Amino acid sequence: MFHGKINERIRLLFFIMIILFIFIFLRVSYIELVDYQKLKDLAEDLWSRNLPITADRGLILDRNGVVLADNITTTSLVLIPNQIKDKELVSISLSKILKVTKEEMDKHVYKKTSIERVHPEGRGLPYDIANQIESLKFDGVYLVKESKRYYPYNNLLSHVLGYVGIDNQGLSGVELLYDNYLMGEDGAIKYFSDAKGKKLALSEVYKAPLSGMNILLTIDYNIQKSLERELNNIVSMFNPDMALAIVMDPNNGEILAMSSRPDYDPNYYLDYSMEKLSRNLPIWASFEPGSTFKIITTAASVEEKIVDLETDTFYDAGSVIVDGRRIGCWKAGGHGHQTFLQVMENSCNPGFVKLGLTLGKERLFSYLDLFGFGEKTGIDLNGEATGIIFPLEKVKNLELATTSFGQGVSVTPIQQITAVSAVVNGGNLYKPFLVKGIAEGQTNSIIKQFQKELVRQTISPDTSATMRYALESVVARGGGRYAYIEDYRVGGKTGTAQKVQDGRYLINNYIMSFLAVVPANKPEAVLFLAIDNPKNTALLSSYTTAPIARRILLDIIEALNIEKQPNAIERVMQWDSEKYAVVPNVINKSVKEANKELFNFEVVYTGSGNRVIEQSPKAGTKLIEGSIVRLLLAD
């Protein structure tokens, strides 16, 4: 019986040992077959180190593929303190090359860390500095390639593009709003070291960085370039407090160009104040619109059928009294008897007071709501303002009267151009936008596309057609005449708004603006231009902004390849208007005959002989008198 119990215990012990053996076998098999990679990675993490390689951010391009935000490769300094043999020598040498104190460099060299990125003095090193460090051949001192954002056109589109920080993260504008798409995935060079940080003789592993996605803008570089040039001219000529311009495609809300002054160079954003960096004036600035707002009052009046612009009339005596307050016309003595189309052409304040009071506050302010005033447009940029509109319950006759001609309300430039685009495009209010699509970084294939977004209908197509005609009439026969371009049917409206400070209107301090449409009969672009407190100029927007707008419109016509338009409103000539003449056909005529017919032009000859065999421009072309006509001669 005693031996039986011993045998039973031996069998139990043997059984337990078999179970343990099976468990150990299964566990080892699991580790070898299943958990091997995980444990291997954990082990490698203990003795591997990564030298980082910054990924390129995605490109930002205009609608035609012009690169507006690019990348350049720079060199940065990285230390591995445990590998540095003579820390004192390394600290002294690097501090001299980088022109920092030894104490500052000691903080990096003696730091208790596996890898130390020398920041900021070791980032983005020039080639000569990098070469000096490389020539020292110090253990534990590494130079790694690093991607840095680069803006090839400097200040161009600066507030829209924004800028990136030292670590390649977006800090404003499109760079910030689309940072998750633009940011790439960093790579690394992996090396191996022992517990003391000494580098092991094992092969390094290279992990390539992955570039970010590309952002495709609605911006047209050629139109943007025109805006930048003219804004620079404005600063040089008029020394304004600020200036801005926007160009929009009225048929979908795409922003074709946007800029303002003051601006900045995003390559050197640290040289500018936060105020200058953050204020994107076309969407942030809020001010009284002045006479450009009369477009909205007129559209509402036509839509509500309270006025026929061509048949209804108004007598302007020079001023009108509203609740005991005299509201004057800019023209002393007034314009006398005129149609409401002429009220628009002449920008006659008393006439618009009449329209506003006839509409009444409920109807007029309902159209302000319809056109989006007092709320953000929703453009894809940070920092948009809402403007200020009178609360309806506080609107009396005087507030209604001043609102009708753009005084007492505060709106933003993006609100104005969005609303006027709706006025001229058939009545459709579109949400403005800047980003057209997002593309894969390597192939540039589109992965996300943004389409036009209709907010609401504002006025009827018939009212819109009437307004297009009225705006063309303002340029052909009224205050916008200096924006006139022969054969291209430009529409527009000037604005001169007195500035307010501490509740009082300032003396001789105005914001002058111009809203233009081209071509007026079938709009392809709307331009808004504003100059805040221009100096050394007449205090009328027609003399200040309209000629500048005309130069931008000519560039828009070229960039968008806009064709000449028939049936334009005949221009009313002024004493200082540019006169046009039609180039006659002088081919096969003698030099004497050609000279006689081209008396309106300057003639330039090439070749020899007495007969004209070719001419430029062709016969039938309209040119400003005094322009050059070139003739090729032969016998």
Question: Looking at the annotation, which residues are catalytic?
Answer: 291
What's the CA gap between 109 and 141, in Å, rounded?
Answer: 9
Q: Which two tokens stand for residue 514?
A: 């111009």
Bridge-based pairing state of the strands 60-61 and 214-217? parallel
Helix axis angle, 461-477 relative to 294-303, nearest 10°? 140
Cβ neighbours, 10 Å, residue 582? 10
Q: Which two tokens stand for residue 108?
A: 């990096």
Bridge-based pairing state of the strands 628-634 and 602-607? parallel
Q: Which two tokens stand for residue 35?
A: 């958990």
Bridge-based pairing state of the strands 48-53 and 187-192? antiparallel
As a whole number of Å, the end-to-end CA separation of the chain is 143
Tell me if 314 sits within 8 A of 354, measured CB to CB.
yes
Q: How many residues does the chain have?
A: 635
**Biggest alpha carbon distance in the chain?**
148
- Phi and psi for 497 in degrees, rounded to 5? -115, 125
What's the CA gap between 425 and 435, in Å, rounded?
Answer: 21
Where does residue 312 rank: exposed (0-12), middle (13-18), buried (19+ CB within 10 A)? middle
Task: Please name the residue that has the structure tokens 């449409």.
Answer: 517
Q: What is the DSSP string of 78-132?
A: EE-GGG-S-HHHHHHHHHHHHT--HHHHHHHHT-SSS-EE-TTTTSSB-HHHHHH
Handedness of CA 225, 228, 232, 238 (dihedral sign): positive
Bridge-based pairing state of the strands 628-634 and 214-217? unpaired
Tell me if 351 sits within 8 A of 373, measured CB to CB.
no
Q: Which two tokens stand for residue 426?
A: 């058939």
How far are the Cα atoms of 45, 75, 80, 89, 134 from residue 127, in angstroms, in the given order? Answer: 33, 8, 22, 22, 10
